[in-house]
Structure 1
Amino acid sequence: MNAIAPSNRCFNSKFTELIEYPQDGVLSKVLLKDDNCQYTLFCLAAETDISEHTSSRNASIVVLEGRGILTLEGEDIQLEPGVFVFMTAHAPHALKAQDNLAFLLTLSETK
């Protein structure tokens, strides 16, 4: 998986220039990946569902645009711009985009 930026250089960009929504489903762009973290921009079309799954790494979400519902360990969390969510590794979660939804997902080591 190629990243937009090389991991050994400083990087900056505007999310407004990177966000693009698919007609349906999910479009993801890895912005940067190194040995410790991966930063991925997710853009979901309205009414897109991501079924329950887990990750072997800790994760955080920062919502940039849109609305949705994240179900994390059975609890519904309303997603809207500015919301930050931290998920521990192996926490079951699912997602429903109510509108077009864009967020930054950061995967990090569990140590």
Structure 2
Amino acid sequence: MATTLITSTTTTIQLNDHLNFPDAGVLSKVIWKDAVCQSSLFCLAEGTEISEHTATRNATVQVIAGSGTLTLEGKPIALEPGVFVFMAANAPHALAAATNLAFLLTLASDC
């Protein structure tokens, strides 16, 4: 099991305390992981792009800071703090960070 920010002795964290934006690219940290779901904090540097791909699991994205565009099944979604997105398993998606961008990605094996 990967090291996680939430453990059996810590049940809460302040996500803003863990925002670390790289000079370029993507930095991710696993918040919680078990057999059913995984939540990870992603911090993307301004200008970072993630090319179109799919995931075999349902996923949600919750934007914490910054701005960008998520292209989900060919449709652009403006990302800004407070935006919540559901992505069905195998849905093609891509991402572009207009500014430093932070979001919580949760993958679920059963929904």
TM-score bracket relative to the smaller structure: over 0.9
TM-score by length of 1: 0.94
Distance in 2 of aligned mates of 1:40 and 1:75 = 24
Distance in 2 of aligned mates of 1:110 and 1:4 = 23
1:3–1:30 Cα contact (<8 Å) kept = yes
- State the Cα RMSD in Å: 1.2
**Which structure 2 residues correspond to residues 80-91 of structure 1 after superposition, within 5 A?**
80-91=80-91
TM-score by length of 2: 0.94
Give the match's secondary structure for 1:42: strand
1:89–1:110 Cα contact (<8 Å) kept = no
- How far the C-alpha of 1:110 sits from its partner, in A, is 3.8
Alignment gaps of 5+ in structure 1:
none
Give the match's secondary structure for 2:17: helix
- Which residue identity does 1:88 align to in structure 2? A
Flag the 1:9–1:89 CA change in 2: closer, same or farther, 3 A: farther
- How far the C-alpha of 1:2 sits from its partner, in A, is 2.2
Post-superposition Cα deviations, 1:48-107, rounded to whole Å, max 9, x if no partner, equal 000000001000000000000000000000000000000000000000000000000000
- Which residue identity does 1:66 align to in structure 2? G
Alignment gaps of 5+ in structure 2:
none
Distance in 2 of aligned mates of 1:38 and 1:2 = 12
- How far the C-alpha of 1:10 sits from its partner, in A, is 5.7
* Identical columns (%): 53
Are 2:67 and 1:49 aligned?
no
Post-superposition Cα deviations, 1:24-51, rounded to whole Å, max 9, x if no partner, equal 0000000110111100000000000000
- Report what 1:13 is aligned to: 13
Count of aligned pairs: 110
Distance in 2 of aligned mates of 1:62 and 1:17 = 16
- Which residue identity does 1:46 align to in structure 2? E
Give the match's secondary structure for 1:16: helix
- How far the C-alpha of 1:109 sits from its partner, in A, is 1.4
